């Protein structure tokens, strides 16, 4: 289901064009992953599931510089856009998603109907990681570069592009090892989206207020020049199975598999 290297580059490049921003900002919505507290603060709601990701920012010192840069970007957005428009992701949880697995109602249904679901999921991902690891022949680091800010209906992200074709092909190979695992498919887990490498910076909160969508679009476009002048790369050293309870908390148990990328 994932695209060729060149098709991926072309698609992600279009996501950061002014015309794309102008279209996307018309359709933004409040994220259901956060709730408004009585004191006016935003809190994450329960949103459980599993993903294969790189270690969260607090556990990934090799990428601390780029995560610090993304945190600075968050603050710029807060300062320049309407108050309460965004709820920021905790930089300690910044990560690169390798493969979405299962979440929310699908996860809750799976664990309610199959007492062994989680243990089987762990075993399946361990098998998939081993398939990828055994076929790995390229020892060079996998590097992805920030392309720019992108708008989703409920979030603002930074999208990334591979520094070379090998960096792309190896991530796609890992995803195939996961999504083509027949035992994992038997658990009801399958690929649902084209791969878009990203790190989520913020979710939309108060979109019922009057929003200057032109300013939002212009702000995103202007900030992208920062990365043209100061390119930022993420180096992918290894991936992990993680269980999340909300959009801030990504847990790893001792038996959860790890894969060297």
What structural domains and CATH numbers belong to the chain? 5-260 (3.90.1140.10)
Quote the tokens at residue 101.
């697995």
249 vs 208, higher pLDDT: 249
Residue 56 near residue 93, CB atoms below 8 Å:
yes
Query: Rounded to whole angstroms, what are the CA distances from 176 to 2, 67, 83, 127?
Result: 9, 28, 42, 12
pLDDT one-digit tens code per residue, 4-14: 999 999 999 99
Place of tokens 């015309």: 19
With a cut of 90, say whether residue 43 has pLDDT above it: no
Q: Per-residue pLDDT averaged across 145-153, rounded?
A: 96
> In angstroms, rounded to a whole number, what is the distance separating the alpha carbons of residues 137 and 162?
18
Share of the chain above pLDDT 70, in %: 100
pLDDT one-digit tens code per residue, 162-214: 999 999 999 999 999 999 999 999 999 999 889 999 999 999 998 877 888 89
Give the side-chain half-sphere CA count within 13 A for 144: 30
With a cut of 90, say whether residue 142 has pLDDT above it: yes
> In angstroms, rounded to a whole number, what is the distance separating the alpha carbons of residues 51 and 74?
24
Q: Any alpha helices (H) in the chain, and if so which ranges?
A: 5-15, 18-24, 64-80, 104-113, 117-135, 165-179, 182-186, 213-229
Calculate the CA 195 to chain-centre distance.
10
With a cut of 90, say whether residue 136 has pLDDT above it: no
With a cut of 90, say whether residue 42 has pLDDT above it: no
pLDDT one-digit tens code per residue, 58-115: 999 999 999 999 999 999 999 999 888 999 999 999 999 999 999 999 999 999 999 9
> In angstroms, rounded to a whole number, what is the distance separating the alpha carbons of residues 244 and 56?
11
34 vs 129, higher pLDDT: 129
Calculate the CA 218 to chain-centre distance.
23
With a cut of 80, say whether residue 17 has pLDDT above it: yes
């Amino acid at each position: 289901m994932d695209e060729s290297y060149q098709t991926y580059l072309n698609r992600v490049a279009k996501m950061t064009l002014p015309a794309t921003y102008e279209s996307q900002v018309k359709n933004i919505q409040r994220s259901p992953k956060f709730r408004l507290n009585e004191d006016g603060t935003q809190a994450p709601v329960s949103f459980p599931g599993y993903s294969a990701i790189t270690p969260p920012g607090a556990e990934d010192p090799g990428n601390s510089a780029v995560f610090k840069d993304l945190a600075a970007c968050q603050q710029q957005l807060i300062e320049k856009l309407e108050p309460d428009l965004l709820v920021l992701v905790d930089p300690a949880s910044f990560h690169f998603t390798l493969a979405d697995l299962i979440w929310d109602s699908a996860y809750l249904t799976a664990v309610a109907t199959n007492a062994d679901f989680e243990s089987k999921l762990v075993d399946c991902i361990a098998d998939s990681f081993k398939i990828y690891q055994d076929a790995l022949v390229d020892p060079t680091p996998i590097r992805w570069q920030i392309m720019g800010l992108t708008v989703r209906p409920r979030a603002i992200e930074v999208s990334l592009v591979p520094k070379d074709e090998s960096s792309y092909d190896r991530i796609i190979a890992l995803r195939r090892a996961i999504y083509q695992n027949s035992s994992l498919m038997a658990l009801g887990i399958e690929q649902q989206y084209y791969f878009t490498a990203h790190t989520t910076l913020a979710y939309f909160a108060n979109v019922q207020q009057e929003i200057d969508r032109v300013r939002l679009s212009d702000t995103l476009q202007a900030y992208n020049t920062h990365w043209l002048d100061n390119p930022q790369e993420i180096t992918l050293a290894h991936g992990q199975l993680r269980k999340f309870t909300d959009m801030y908390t990504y847990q790893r148990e001792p038996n959860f598999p790890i894969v060297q990328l």
